[in-house]
Structure 1
Amino acid sequence: MAMIGIDGALVEHAWFHPVVRNDSKLKAPIVFLHHGFGCVADWKSFPSKVADATGRSALVYSRRGCGASSALPFPRTEAYLHDEASGFLPLLLDRLGMARCHLYGHSDGATIALLFASAFPDRALASVVEAPHVFAEEMTLRGFAALNERYETDATLRRKISRFHRDPDGAFYAWSNAWLLPEFRSWTIVDELALLSQPLLVIQGAVDPFGSMAHARLIAGRSGRIPIVVELARCGHSSHTESEAETLQLVTKFMEWLAPYRRRMIALVERGREVGR
């Protein structure tokens, strides 16, 4: 793990490079965005496997308040996902000299990926979003409230989370307290979906206790570009751990599809330039 200074905070991050690098330095990397109280270590080996399978380097970082990163400078509000996508993530990418990238987001991270792609279409090349939240669904709020209660009473869960964070209580409650704010009940990013213009893969577990296919359907119906939507049977909230092989295959095929897609787009642009001469 390494640390980097961003806007007065130290941010934990790690790079995973493909075993066979070849032209990987010429390919835009994939930035991984963790769930609400996740971190670098919480991804385990999945980013490394994606890097090897796609031939692209993977960047993983712990958001402020998570993992070994600095504490949050202030309590989160219902706008914290927007703030991360439009404020802090661009600063991180700038600091790392990363002009453009692909995104892989899980849960809260998936929402951040959607918001970043809608706000910075010139920087987000393509996104994979796993179990995204696009509105405050009632089952999501119930599930988060139950998880909050379990955290307070289940010592096993607390010990598990403490393995990943310098301040486990701070990481968990910063997330749960935000989602349980009364104003979060009307939270939504549906309006931002129309601004999505880049290729998008949406992965949703059929038995996710924290969100239904309604989110994927909204993305498909409201997005400025029709996404690829995959529902995984017998899969819950974390497809990259519960259905790792299938998820890895989906991501690999998606990234393979992007190469000829980008060549077609470049050819169309060049053709348009010639017509305009």
Structure 2
Amino acid sequence: MEQQGYLQIDEARLEYGWSGPGPTQAPTLVLLHEGLGCLAQWRDFPERLVAATGCGVFAYTRAGYGGSSPVTLPRPKDYVHREALGVLPQVLDAVGIETAVLIGHSDGGSIALIHAGGVYDPRVRGAVTMAAHVFVEDVTLAGIRAARVAWEQRGLRERLAKYHGDNVDCAFFGWNDTWLRADFADWNLEHYLPAIHVPLLVMQGIDDEYGTPRQVEAIAAQTGGPVDARLLENCAHNPVREQPEQVLGLIADFVHEVTGRAA
């Protein structure tokens, strides 16, 4: 990304990147990464979003991932709720964002939904989710167990270490162990949905190994504002990598609709 640095939020040092216009020049698209993600794993997506929308793109790495500060494990059951309600508002304040569209993948999508439903933030004009979860499904847990096997036997640790460095164990076990705990089975954020009144673009791959279309259906049925729900063909859990052109087109159209900004 064009500009990179660190933010101090509470006790954590969080890495961030920015591409495109600054917050006083155009709306800002705020990228929220998945449960094993970080700033670097967005690859060229921020620059492609700038080209497609004319907006600035800001991304940061949550504590416990990438080059940000580590966290103490185990993570609390409500770790995504704490991020959405406590950390994300401070991050938006720290970088001076004036008009925002949240764009979240997997855990990041869940964070976007909780923020949109749990924080009165007039800066946020809309939210995009990709493979977000609002409750736990059997297929979710099966996918997370398969990831544990890949970690132990198929080189997943080595692949993730390229992005997370010294945080690689913290990143993986903070996600994997938390979701597989017995007390996590009733994790749910549906009660935030009726309070969401900004427009949503909700995407999920038909072949998502971590969730079924019930996730999209629940969001569409319970959200208080307009929802554009899309199930993407030939796509599993990562729409950005598996259907990049379709995702960019859908986001560009959505951003234009909610901000009036065209590329």
Equivalent position of 1:215 in the other structure: 215
- 5+ long unaligned stretches in structure 1: 262-277
Aligned residues: 256
**Pairing 1:242–2:242 present:** yes
Query: 1:6 is matched with which residue: 4, 9, 23?
Result: 9
**Pairing 1:26–2:29 present:** no
CA contact (8 A) 1:24 1:55 kept: no
Q: Distance in 1 between matches of 2:147 and 2:23?
A: 40
CA contact (8 A) 1:117 1:123 kept: no
Shift of 1:258: 2.0
- 5+ long unaligned stretches in structure 2: none
Equivalent position of 2:71 in the other structure: 72
Equivalent position of 1:60 in the other structure: 59
Equivalent position of 1:170 in the other structure: 170
Shift of 1:132: 0.6
Greater gyration radius: 1
Q: How does 1:225-240 map to 2 (within 5 A)?
A: 225-240=225-240
**Pairing 1:84–2:83 present:** yes
Equivalent position of 2:101 in the other structure: 102
Q: Distance in 2 between matches of 1:52 and 1:100?
A: 18
Q: Distance in 2 between matches of 1:64 and 1:24?
A: 24
Q: Distance in 2 between matches of 1:90 and 1:74?
A: 23
What is the TM-score of this pair, normalised by structure 2? Answer: 0.93
Residue 160 of structure 2 aligns with an amino acid whose one-letter code is: I
Residue 44 of structure 1 aligns with an amino acid whose one-letter code is: R
What secondary structure, in the 3-state scheme, does the structure 2 residue paired with 1:91 have? helix
What secondary structure, in the 3-state scheme, does the structure 2 residue paired with 1:164 have? helix
Residue 72 of structure 1 aligns with an amino acid whose one-letter code is: V
Shift of 1:100: 4.1
CA contact (8 A) 2:23 2:99 kept: no
Q: Distance in 2 between matches of 1:146 and 1:226?
A: 35
Among all aligned residue pairs of Structure 1 and Structure 2, give the percentage whose two residues are the same amino acid.
Answer: 34
Give CA deviations for 1:154-193 in whole Å, capped at 9, x if unaligned.
12x2221110012211111111111111111111111111
CA contact (8 A) 1:202 1:230 kept: yes
What secondary structure, in the 3-state scheme, does the structure 1 residue paired with 2:75 have? coil
Shift of 1:97: 2.2
Q: Distance in 2 between matches of 1:74 and 1:139?
A: 25
What secondary structure, in the 3-state scheme, does the structure 1 residue paired with 2:160 have? helix
Residue 87 of structure 1 aligns with an amino acid whose one-letter code is: G
What secondary structure, in the 3-state scheme, does the structure 2 residue paired with 1:179 have? helix
Change (3 A) 1:73 1:90: farther
Shift of 1:149: 2.1
Equivalent position of 2:192 in the other structure: 192
Higher relative contact order, structure no. (Cα contacts within 8 Å, ≥ 6 residues apart): 2
What is the TM-score of this pair, normalised by structure 1? Answer: 0.88
CA contact (8 A) 1:204 1:231 kept: yes
CA RMSD after TM alignment: 1.6
Change (3 A) 1:24 1:171: closer
CA contact (8 A) 1:116 1:124 kept: no
Q: How does 1:148-163 map to 2 (within 5 A)?
A: 148-155=148-155, 157-163=156-162
